[in-house]
Amino acid sequence: MRKLFIVLFFMLLSKWAQSQQLERIEPMFWWVGMSNPKLQLLVHGAGIAKLSVQLNHPGVKLAKVHQVENPNYLFLDLEIAREAKAGKFPIVFTKAGKKKLQYTYELKNRVKEPSRIQGVSGKDLIYLLMPDRFANGDPGNDIVKGMRENKLNRDSMYYRHGGDLQGLIGKLDYLDDLGVTAIWMTPEIENDMTEASYHGYAATDHYKIDPRYGSLALYKKYVDKAHEKGFKIVKDVVHNHMGTGHWLYRDMPMKSWVNQWPAYTQTSYRDEPVMDPHAAEADKKKMLNGWFVPVMPDFNQQNPFVQNYLTQNNIWWIEYAGIDGLRLDTYPYNDPDYMKDWMQKIKTEFPTLSVFGETLVNSVAAQAYFTQGNTVNRGFDTELPGITDAVLKNALYEALNGNTGWTDGVFRLYATLAQDFLYQDASRNVIFLDNHDMSRLYSMVNEDIDKFKSGIALLLTMRGIPQLYYGTEILMKNHYHPPGLVRMDFPGGWPGDKADKFTASGRTALENEAFNFVRMLARYRKSSPALQRGKMMQFVPENGIYTYFRYLPEGGKQVMVIVNAEGKAKELPTARFAERMASVSAATNVITAQKLENLKIITVPAKTTLVLELN
C-alpha cells in the first residue's frame, strides 16, 4: 500500500510539474522608445493558464492578462512608458502566491543610425533569390537532426538542396560586381514541414531562422555585412497563412486562430470579389478566408490576438536586423481592414521602410485598387505604397513577342503605362520579368538573345523599382510547369559543381554576353539620376517602334529608349520628339559607347531596345 501511495504521489507530482512548463514567450525581447507603448506577449506552456503573473520594472505596466480557450496559453498586455529604461526584469508566474516559473524579459535600446532602414526606391536594383537554391556555404547544416524533412537531394526539384545564408554571404561580391543594390530572399524563417518546404512560404516558427540556412545570429551578420557593402535588404513576409507544422497550429490558442469551415475550403484565387461592387459575400469570404492549399492554414486576421502576433513579429524583425523593405506575399488574400491597420502601425515605427505587396492580378485597375491613395468607391486607404507590377510584366512580354497591332505588340506596353494615373505613385511599384512563381525570361523569349537583351534594357530603364531573378543574368531558363524547373540551383554555388557560373571562366560565351549586358546596364543605372529618379515621357508607338524618355525636370543628362521588337531594322525620324530633343546635339549608345552625331533619323536594329544618353 505504501509503495502504491509513493507511485501515485510521484505520478501526481510529475503531472503537476508538466502543467507548469514554460515553453516560450514571444516576442522574446522588445525595445524601449517604440511609438506604440502597447506590447502583447504570447506565453505558451503546458497548463500555464493556471498561474498568475507578476512583473516589476519601472515604466512597464502589466495592463491585462488574457486567458483563452487553450489552457496552454496566456496573452499579457504590457504598456511601456516613454520614460522606461532598457534592462532586464523577471516575469514571475505564481500559484497561491508561490513562485512556480520565471522568465527574464529584456527591453533593449533601439539602434539609432541614420543609414539604418533606408528603404528601397527607383535608385535600386533588387536581386531575388531562393536561399536553398543559390549557394551552399556550410554543408554542415544540410541535414538537421530532428527536423521533419531530413533528406537532401539535388536531383529532385522538391527536396532541399542545401543552399544557406553562409553561401549568400560568400556571393555578396558577385552581386556587387553585377550592379545589384538590394537583396530579396524568399522567406528564410523555419519551415519544418515533411516535404517541399524549401520555398519558405509555410512557416512553422515566426521567430526562428530555418536551421538549414543558419541561425538568428548569422542572419543578423548577413544583414550587417550586406549593409557594409552598400546593399539594402528586403524581407519576404507572409500574413495570409502558415504551415501545418507550425507549433501554433499544432496547439492553437483558440479555434478562431485560423479560418474554420465545416469542410476544407480552398480559396477561389479570384481577387475580383474583393473589389467588385456587385460581389456576393460568399464569394468574397471564399477568396479571403479559404485556405491557400491544404498544408497552409489560413490565419483569421479578424482575431485581435492574431493581428497583434503578426504585426509585432514584423516589427521585431525590422528592428532586430535593420531591414530596409518588406515584400508582402499573397497580398489580395489578406483581410483589408487588418492590412490597413498593419500598414499604419509599420509606418509609425519605421517611416523610411519600403513596402510592396504581391498582387498577381489581371488589370492595372485591380493592382491600383490595393495601393495607397486609391479610395474611390472603396471607403478607405490601404496605405500600401506599391505592388509587384505583374500587369506591366505581361505588357513587356507582349511588346517583346507580340505582333504590332492597334492594341497589341508595343502598343500594349504603351497603353499599360498610360494607366499610371490610377496609382498615387507608380514609381513605387516593383517591376520584373520573372520570379520563382513564373517562367524565366530566356525561355519566355524562346531563347532569343536579342529579345533577352531588349527585355533587360526595358526592365532597367522603365519607371519603378526593377527586380532581377537569380540566374537570369546567366540565361538560366525553363518554364514554370512544374514549378521546380524555375527554381534550379545556381551552377557553381555548391562544392564540386561541374561549372562555376559565378565566374567568367565558368560561363559559356553566350552566358558571358548576357551577363556583361546586364552588368553594363545595371552599373550605368547606378550612375544615372534620370533612370534612378527621373520622370518618364512616352510617345504613341508608330511604325512598330515605341519611344520613351527618362529625365529630370531640373535638367541634366536624359535617357532616350527606343524599342523595335520587329524582325527587321527600322528608321526612326525624331522630329516629333522635339519636347525632349530640341536642345540635344548628340547621343551616346550606353551599351556600345558609340557616338551618334546625326539624330534626325536613328537606325534601330531588329529586336533591339536602344538606350541612348542624350548630350
pLDDT for residue 17: 45
Q: Is residue 331 part of a domain?
A: yes
pLDDT, one tens digit per residue, over 216-263 is 999 999 999 999 999 999 999 999 999 999 999 999 999 999 999 999
User: Which domain CATH number covers 550?
Assistant: 2.60.40.1180
- What H or E segment, with its residue span, contains residue 167? helix 165-169
User: In this structure, are 26 and 79 located in the same domain?
Assistant: yes
User: In this structure, are 187 and 212 located in the same domain?
Assistant: yes
Is-contact 503 466, C-beta < 8 A?
no
User: In this structure, are 90 and 137 located in the same domain?
Assistant: no
- Burial status of residue 271 (CB atoms within 10 A of its CB: 0-12, 13-18, 19 or more): buried
pLDDT for residue 21: 85
Instruction: Provide the grid cell at 271.
Output: 481577387
Q: Residue 538 contacts by C-beta under 8 Å, 6 or more apart in sequence?
A: 414, 417, 418, 546, 547, 548, 549
pLDDT, one tens digit per residue, over 123-157 is 999 999 999 999 999 999 999 999 999 889 999 99
User: In this structure, are 521 and 455 located in the same domain?
Assistant: yes
pLDDT for residue 36: 97
Indicate the residue among 530, 560, 580 that finishes a domain: 530
pLDDT for residue 3: 53
Catalytic hit among 188, 271, 319, 329: 329
Q: Is residue 277 part of a domain?
A: no
Higher pLDDT: 19 or 540? It is 540
pLDDT of residue 574 exceeding 50 = yes
**What number is the average pLDDT over the span 260-271?**
97
Task: Note the pTM of the prediction, 2 decimals.
Answer: 0.95
pLDDT, one tens digit per residue, over 405-453 is 899 999 999 999 999 999 999 999 999 999 999 999 999 999 999 999 9
**What number is the average pLDDT over the span 319-337?**
97
Q: Is residue 39 part of a domain?
A: yes
Tally of domains in the chain: 3
User: In this structure, are 434 and 579 located in the same domain?
Assistant: no
User: In this structure, are 519 and 578 located in the same domain?
Assistant: no
Residues 460 and 431: their CA atoms lie apart, in Å, by 9
Domain that holds residue 100: 2-109
- Burial status of residue 318 (CB atoms within 10 A of its CB: 0-12, 13-18, 19 or more): buried
Residue 356 CA neighbour count, 13 Å, CB half: 30
Q: Is residue 479 part of a domain?
A: yes
Is-contact 292 358, C-beta < 8 A?
no
User: In this structure, are 518 and 591 located in the same domain?
Assistant: no
User: Which domain CATH number covers 160?
Assistant: 3.20.20.80
Read off the pLDDT band of 20 (50, 70, 90): low
Lowest mean pLDDT segment, chosen from 241-245, 273-277, 308-312: 273-277
pLDDT for residue 377: 65
Catalytic hit among 358, 389, 420, 473: 358
Q: Is residue 316 part of a domain?
A: yes
Read off the pLDDT band of 12 (50, 70, 90): very low
Please give the full DSSP string across 204-256, using - where no structure is assigned: SEEEEE-TTT--HHHHHHHHHHHHHTT-EEEEEE-SSB--TT-HHHHT-SSGG
User: Which domain CATH number covers 85?
Assistant: 2.60.40.10
pLDDT for residue 190: 98
User: In this structure, are 518 and 438 located in the same domain?
Assistant: yes
pLDDT of residue 8 exceeding 50 = no
pLDDT for residue 9: 44
pLDDT, one tens digit per residue, over 465-490 is 999 999 999 999 999 988 889 999 99
Length of the chain, please? 615
Give the strand pairing for 98-109 and 87-95: antiparallel
122-153 burial, b for 16+ CB within 10 Å, e for fewer?
bbbbbbbbbbbbbbbbbeebbeeeebebeeee
Q: Residue 217 contacts by C-beta under 8 Å, 6 or more apart in sequence?
A: none
pLDDT of residue 19 exceeding 90 = no
**What number is the average pLDDT over the span 43-61?**
97
Annotated catalytic residue 224: no
Phi and psi dihedrals of 564, rounded to 5?
A: -120, 100
pLDDT, one tens digit per residue, over 492-532 is 999 999 999 999 999 999 999 999 999 999 999 999 999 99
Q: Is residue 255 part of a domain?
A: no
Q: Is residue 81 part of a domain?
A: yes
User: In this structure, are 22 and 149 located in the same domain?
Assistant: no
Q: Is residue 198 part of a domain?
A: yes
User: In this structure, are 152 and 233 located in the same domain?
Assistant: yes
Across the chain, what does the average pLDDT equal? 95
pLDDT for residue 483: 81
Lowest mean pLDDT segment, chosen from 1-10, 331-340, 554-563, 581-590: 1-10
Residues 354 and 194: their CA atoms lie apart, in Å, by 34
Indicate the residue among 493, 511, 530 that finishes a domain: 530
User: In this structure, are 488 and 365 located in the same domain?
Assistant: yes
Locate all alpha helices (DSSP H) within 229-335, ordered by sequence. Answer: 247-250, 272-275, 281-289, 304-321
pLDDT for residue 379: 77
Is-contact 555 538, C-beta < 8 A?
no
- Secondary structure percentages of the chain, helix, strand, coil, to 5: 30, 25, 45
Indicate the residue among 530, 550, 579 that finishes a domain: 530
Annotated catalytic residue 251: no
Is-contact 68 48, C-beta < 8 A?
no
User: In this structure, are 442 and 570 located in the same domain?
Assistant: no
Residues 275 and 379: their CA atoms lie apart, in Å, by 11
